[in-house]
Amino acid sequence: MIDFKIKQVSQDLRDSILNAINQKTKPVGSLGKLEDIALQIGLIQGSINPELIKPSIVVFAGDHGVAAEGVSAYPAEVTPQMVLNFVSGGAAINVFTKQHGIDLHVVDAGVNYTFESDEVIDCKVGFGTKSYLYEQAMTKIELNECFAYGIKVADRIIDSGSNIIGFGEMGIGNTSSAALIMSEVCFLPLQECVGKGTGLDSEGLNRKLEALRDAKKTHPNLVTPEDILCAFSGFEIAQMTAAMLRTADRGAVILVDGFISTSAFLLAAQIDPNIIDYAIFSHCSDESGHGKMLDYLQVKPVLDLQLRLGEGTGCALAYPIIESAVRFLNEMASFESADVSEAI
């Protein structure tokens, strides 16, 4: 894999940005989480007057061999069907990105379908991964290809002018991959990581849990992020991991969506811990285990709306709040400029 060397965010302007925040015409700390976000983005950009340019969300799509084992309430053909829905503008992510003026990019990382639309970015590594119940989901050669594509996608979006990228996904069966990744990285038993995904009933959930326990037995002693990615990841998760790392490497803001996107971030943080300074976590998913992922990373999400859709929808919904954080820092009057008396 490529060796990333993400710069630790400089703290040189911390006092200056905090002073600017505290001098706004409001009681100190009264804008709560918005003040934290404003400070974080100011530090990422090294500016007292940060700006968000051309906000973007990228949805990586891929199929999973394990979907044939009954770990999802939906059949595998839903993956390409939903990608086509993204292209035609009919999905939730289309509605929310359009509402908030966010550019949407859709990537075929490894869907079991051949797309003919120019609106789908072709980064296909294969027509779905192998079933990790019996073998590795992907080879090291495929993983390296995923990382090359993920870097290419991040560069493409940043080179277009964007300095903030949200990360979403689509892939039937990918909550299973995310649960396995979470279990390995966070050292948690599978029952604390596995949830209902797209809506499994109790019987389906038990079947999913047993399948994933078998998968862990098939792949013991995973040590490195590369080991975990090859064993359990989807092509979309691997490409997202690389794209997140590249985004931070280039100094842009990362918006992390839900359970699957956070599993990619867990691996990215294992590869280069400095990535955490560049990430804003859009929401806490209703998928079982996501809250524990966030606790492991010691981060607080912007929203908690009981979402479990994926697609980057949490990023799109959180973005206006993030924009508000930057706008108050840039546009709100100070006590001095407004001739308002400060607290005694």
Active site residues: 311
Range 273-288 burial, b when 16+ CB lie within 10 A, else e: ebbbbbbbbbbbbbbb
Range 33-69 burial, b when 16+ CB lie within 10 A, else e: ebbbbbbbbbbbbeeeebebeebbbbbbbbbbbbbeb
How far is 62 from 42, CA to CA, in rounded Å? 35
- Angle made by CA atoms 215, 221, 224, in degrees to the nearest 5: 105
How far is 196 from 306, CA to CA, in rounded Å? 13
Q: What are phi and psi of 25, to 5 degrees?
A: -75, 75
**Could you give the strand order of the β-sheet that contains 120-122, starting from the edge strand earlier in sequence?**
120-122, 103-110, 56-62, 164-170, 253-256, 279-281
- Among candidates 235, 267, 239, 258, which has minimal Cα distance to 111? 235
CA 123 to chain centre: 18
Q: Are 120 and 106 in contact (CB under 8 A)?
A: yes
